[in-house]
Structure 1
């Protein structure tokens, strides 16, 4: 019987040229395998593990043009072969009934099943071997061996095993590259945001505003299926922005800043940064929302004063005594609790963007912030007495900054008036500073941006 037997579809449908070509390729490949079979190399040496092959098909599905549902049907067909190792030299025709095939395809509807079978034929992974009446069955000999089978031939799938594995390896390589690219994008976003924030804290926020806008434009959410080209374009844009930001930041430093400094100063800065990081973590995970902004004040009360500050306080105390001042030591004053703001205006505007909604003429300086704070404190329900006490203890600017920070957390502060009074008491004892509050808001916003990506 000819090797090209039963290659036309049942039901009067035309046969595509591609189907004839696939059949001819299978015929020639089988012939070559049988001709070159020797004792040292039999046709079984070319057998492949069907489940490993199906895994490779799944990994290479985009190149092969297959959907996940189509692969489910292919797995169902492969499950009808009795051996795990599929030899291309063997007869690989399977002949399941529609009902059984539907069961093994997770209960797929007949119409859907036919559509995915057609997709497998079109992809060149299976061949139809239709009988005279279109039914699928096998004709057996008296000994029970299959002499002739009509159904779906899996030989094309096995013949293309090497090609499919190559596509799968390339898909795995691309997936690894995309994961690395996503990680690189996240790190660039984090580093650039940290540099812009540092510049704002140093009072250079206005000159870095264009960089902050570019960063915001490049911080959009990336979908799970974003392609390589889109990710690479985002990475390249972030690299260009990072170069510009780093160059601008270094240009703002003096030669003395860039030279090696005393080891003790560097160590002290690192210790302070570590302490701030610990407090940031405590702030984010504090289970009591109303106390989150206060958590940062605890580091002032947590332990003894650093040696350099103790020396400074002793000198000031001696000076006060020598000047004949009454009352002994002066009331302690934490950083940022006096009239002079501890941070730049741009930092406050960046950490508390909602204040712009309450500044009809725009929010461009401290005067605008204090005007907006008057409106916001009334809206929050802070009494005039509590507001007056806060201004007296903290100073007008720092009290306005405190109101701005409270506005950002208004939904979790149960009693804004009582909350402000507690902060005022801290200011009175010298253990209050607005700077940690702003750092908490900035860190939370940066974390939210990174989680989106």
Structure 2
């Protein structure tokens, strides 16, 4: 392979150290290495944006590869192609000359090809007496062979990122549909709740989706939209359970009233000693843990607590819980109050509750008493962190947290 020496560009094109490194790298290709040229072209196409190329750049690369007679790029083969600009224009379907030259330069800058210029800048091949190419001047395709593994890896990452982006967009579309229809159903069927305010939150979230969103945009809005959906479902579920419990209580009360008094007297013990019963301790209600919210959403809502994390930052749920312990002590919340909150709400949600209290500390007279009140309400299924977090996210000056 005729790539063992460094050649400088013809004319006014400058020589750079990057160009030197690329030419040296082509001389260090592993012996016997080969790659199917159209496979590496597909990888380069997938990695186009990462390489700083445009669609016309790929058209020019496709044309250059078409001038290489074999299907495989091999380390021991002659990898310099030498088509004229006129021939390249034909194979790029009439691309303008200035456009062709610009994209040839882009391919060189991206490190996919190297110019091997002759003394006069012309592209040609010199053959020996046996008719074999002895030396050629034009465009060296060796860098494509040298970087084949790198291009394949970049292409895989690009495909994976594109797939993840598509899934995130689909999830956001489904979540938006769910929220919109749940709100409409609640309003049309007269469910209790401030559905106009919830609808306003939904409209504000939807309006923040850019025309051309990035993965970060989609992820952040999806986290908040999923949080809103969970809050709506929890509210509707709480109402359904409340209606069921009220109906069931009325049914039981009616059943007791219709029962015969003597039958109740027979079933009711006259004393614990007569029945041999032991005094029973009141059992703790079977509390369903509150659902942990995405950490990114929590940190957006509770920005102050990050200052109390390890090293002055919070990067994980463990960091948030460590910060909550510091804040708990600072706010004067007793260890027992915080421990009870952890048992009822779960340690993650207890930490979130402390973060919310910190955000509104100037409005809360007794943080410890307030946390105990939240814990009791959570134990009865009457408290959800969703409205608090959404209120803090909106940062509209109002607060769902009130001093006790």
TM-score range, shorter chain: 0.5 to 0.7
Is 1:98 the equivalent of 2:85?
Answer: yes
Provide Cα deviations, 1:329-364, integer angstroms capped at 9, x if missing partner.
Answer: xxxxxxxxxxxxxxxxxxxxxxxxxxxxxxxxxxxx
Could you say which residue in structure 2 is the equivalent of 1:144? 131
Q: CA deviation at 1:49?
A: 1.3
Name the structure 2 match of 1:295: none
Question: How large is the Cα RMSD of the aligned pairs?
Answer: 2.5
- Check whether the contact 1:141–1:147 (CA below 8 A) recurs between aligned residues: yes
Give the one of 91, 96, 99 matched to 1:112.
99
Q: Following the alignment from structure 1 to structure 2, what is the Cα–Cα distance between the partners of residues 125 and 229?
A: 31
Contact 1:6 1:131 in 2 (8 A): no
Give yes or no for the alignment of 1:158 onto 2:145. yes
Structure 2 residues without counterparts, runs of 5 or longer? 249-404
Q: Corresponding residue for 1:23?
A: 23
Q: Secondary structure, in 3 states, of the residue corresponding to 2:231?
A: helix
How many residues are aligned here?
Answer: 248
Q: Provide, for residues 40-71 of structure 1, a one-character-per-residue CA deviation record: whole Å limited to 9, x for no partner.
A: xxx1xx32111111111111112111111111
What is the aligned partner in structure 1 of residue 156 from structure 2? Answer: 169
Describe the shift of the 1:259–1:99 C-alpha distance in structure 2 as closer, same or farther (beyond 3 A): farther
2:171 matched to 1:178? Answer: no
Question: In 1, Cα distance between the equivalents of 2:7 and 2:245?
Answer: 78
Q: Secondary structure at the match of 1:252?
A: helix
| TM-score relative to the length of structure 1 | 0.51
The offset of 1:225, in angstroms, is 5.2
Cα distance 1:2–1:181, how it changes in 2: closer, same or farther (>3 A)? Answer: closer
Work out the CA distance in 2 between the residues paired with 1:251 and 1:57.
54
Matched residues in 2 for 1:256 and 1:12: separation? 84
Q: Which has the higher contact order (CA 8 A, sep 6+)?
A: 1
SS in 2 for 1:176: helix
Cα 1:143–1:205 shift into 2, 3 Å: farther
TM-score normalised by structure 2 residue count:
0.57
Is 1:126 the counterpart of 2:80? The answer is no
Q: Residue 337 of structure 2 aligns with which residue?
A: none
Please state how far the C-alpha of 1:106 moved relative to its aligned partner: 2.0
Match of 2:52 among 19, 41, 65: 65
Could you list the runs of 5+ residues in structure 1 that have no partner in the other structure?
34-42, 262-453
1:220, CA displacement in angstroms? 4.4
